[in-house]
Amino acid sequence: MTQRAQAATGTGGLPDHLRRPVRGMRDWLPPQFYALRRMEELLSRVAESFGYRRVETPVVEHFEVLARRAGREIVGEIYYFKDRAGRELGLRFDMTVPIARAISYNLTIPRPVRWYYFSRVYRYDEPQHGRYREFHQFGVELVGSSSPRADAEVLGVLAESLRAVGVPDFVVRINDRKMVDKMLESMGVREYREAIYRALDKKHKLPREDVVKIMTSSGVEPSKAEAIYDAAVEMPLQEAVESIIKRAGAELYNFYCKLLKYLDSASGLDKFVFDMSIVRGLDYYTGMVFEVFAGNYKLAIGGGGRYDSLLELYSGISMPALGFALGVERLMEALGVQGIEKPPDYYIYIFDDGAYSLAAAIARRMRASGSDVVIELGDKTLREALEYALRLGVRYMVIIGRRELERGVVRVKDLGKREEVERPVTEFLGKEA
C-alpha cells in the first residue's frame, strides 16, 4: 500500500487521543518549528544588540523556590510532582524565578546582570486559544540596578523586539504597584489590597458592577470601590506623571520624571500609556508593572515589571531588578505567522547501486558548500522519486544514469521551472574529481 493510501485508511494502532500531544501541549512539525526558530533569531538579535547574554536553566525546579513568590493564581498552575527520592519538584512557570535562583548562588557575576532567554515554560492553565500548558517565553532580566535608566532600557528592548518581529501596532500599558498602594492607603483601604488588585485586573474583562462587586464583597465600602474603579482610567504617560503619580509623593514623581526623559530618548513615548488596571498576577512585583497588547489580539502578548525584593528573598542580598517576557505563541498568533517550508536543495537519484559512491562524493561536496542534499535510498522508481521530491518542495533533482555517466555527465532537473540540463560530473566534484 502506498503511503497516501495508508494515511487515508489509518485504522488500528493507538487511539486518536494518544496520537495527539498531551492536553495544552503541541507538536512543532518542521514548518512551525522553523517559524518559531525565525522568531528566536530575530528576538535574540535584539537582546544581544543591547548587550544581553543568553541563559538557560533546568525545566525542573525545587517546588519551594517556585512557590515562594508566585502568587495564589500561579501556584495553582504549577506542574507539581515528587521524584523517586521524594523531592518536591515543579516545572518552571516562567524564567524570572529560575534566573533569580541562579543569580543567588553566583554572587560574583558582575552586576548589573543582563540576561535573556527563549525558553519553554509550563502552566496548568485551562487550555484555549492563546492559553497553553507548555509555551515559549522570550524575555530579558536586568538585575542589580534601581536606576530609572534600567526601566527605560528594558522598555526600550521590549519596543525594539516588537518592531523587529513586525508588530507595528503594539501598546505597552504601564502602572505602578507602589503608586496604587499609596492611593489605597490614602483611602484607608490598604487592607483589601489583594481583592482590589484582583478587581482592577478584571477591569477590561468584566462589566463595572462585577468589578465593583469583587471589591465590596471583600469588605470595601461601595463608594470607595466605585471611586477606585473610576480612578483606574487610561491616560498618556506624561499626563499620569503630572497628576496621579505626582499625588503619590516626591520619590515616585522624581523617578517617573526621569524615566519619561530616558524613555523618550531611548525609544519614544508613543507606544506607552498609563493604565491603573494593570496590576499583574505574579506576587513578586514591587513597583512599575506593564502589559503589552498587539492590534486586535485580545490577550496580552507580554508582561513584566520591577521585582526589587525577589533576589533578596533568595540570596539575602538586596538586588533591585526588572524584566519582561513575551509569550511567543501569542506573538505568532497576533502576527498571523505561517509555517516556513524549508525543503532540501538537491535530491540525488541513481539508477545503479554502482553509482552510489559517486552520488555520495557529489553530496559531500555540495553539503560542504552549504547545500542541503538528500540521496535516494533505493526504494523508489524515478517517477516515484520525482513525485516525492515535488511534494517535499525540492528545487533540483540530480539524476545519475549509466548512459550519462559513460559520457561524464549528470542530468539536473529544475523542479520549479520544469527544465532539465546536462552538466559535467566534474562541475559537482570540484577539486575532488
118 vs 428 by CB, closer to ligand HAM: 118
Q: Is 323 in the site for ligand HAM (CB under 6 A)?
A: yes
Minimum gap (Å) between residue 181 Cβ and ligand HAM: 18
Q: Which of 196, 175, 203, 181 is nearest to 303 (CA)?
A: 175
Give me the residue whose beta carbon is nearest to ligand HAM: 327
- Measured CA to CA, the distance from residue 382 to residue 387 in angstroms comes to 9
Choice from 118, 138, 293, 324 touching ligand HAM (CB under 6 A): 324
- Measured CA to CA, the distance from residue 79 to residue 286 in angstroms comes to 25
Secondary structure class of 243 (helix, strand, coil): helix
Choice from 79, 132, 256, 346 touching ligand HAM (CB under 6 A): 132
106 vs 217 by CB, closer to ligand HAM: 106
**Helix 208-216 vs helix 193-201: crossing angle, to nearest 10:** 170
Beta-carbon-side half-sphere exposure of residue 49 (alpha carbons within 13 Å): 12
Q: Is 141 in the site for ligand HAM (CB under 6 A)?
A: yes
Hey, what's the cell of 109? 557575576
Choice from 26, 38, 120, 131 touching ligand HAM (CB under 6 A): 131
Minimum gap (Å) between residue 254 Cβ and ligand HAM: 23
* Size (the chain), residues: 433
Minimum gap (Å) between residue 119 Cβ and ligand HAM: 11
Tell me which DSSP letter residue 58 carries: -
Q: Is 293 in the site for ligand HAM (CB under 6 A)?
A: no
Convert residues 42-81 into a mask of x (bound to ligand HAM by CB under 6 A) and - (unbound): ----------------------------------------
Choice from 302, 308, 314, 362 touching ligand HAM (CB under 6 A): 302
Minimum gap (Å) between residue 301 Cβ and ligand HAM: 5
Q: Which of 105, 101, 112 is nearest to 142 (CA)?
A: 112
Binding segment for ligand HAM (CB under 6 A), chosen from 7-15, 189-197, 216-224, 303-311, is 303-311
Minimum gap (Å) between residue 155 Cβ and ligand HAM: 12
Q: Is 176 in the site for ligand HAM (CB under 6 A)?
A: no
Hey, what's the cell of 258? 526621569
Q: How many residues bind ligand HAM (CB under 6 A)?
A: 24
Tell me which DSSP letter residue 21 carries: P
Choice from 135, 256, 293, 346 touching ligand HAM (CB under 6 A): 135
Q: Is 151 in the site for ligand HAM (CB under 6 A)?
A: no
Measured from the Cβ of residue 54, the count of other Cβ atoms closer than 10 Å reads: 12
**DSSP letters along 157-211, please?**
HHHHHHHHHT--SEEEEEEEHHHHHHHHHHTT-GGGHHHHHHHHHTTTTS-HHHH
Among positions 98-127, residues that touch ligand HAM (CB under 6 A) are 123, 125
Q: How far, CA to CA in Å, does 212 sit from each of 2, 6, 9, 279, 304? A: 64, 59, 57, 16, 26
| Residues near ligand HAM, by CB under 6 A | 94, 96, 123, 125, 130-132, 135, 137, 139, 141, 282, 300-305, 323-325, 327, 329-330
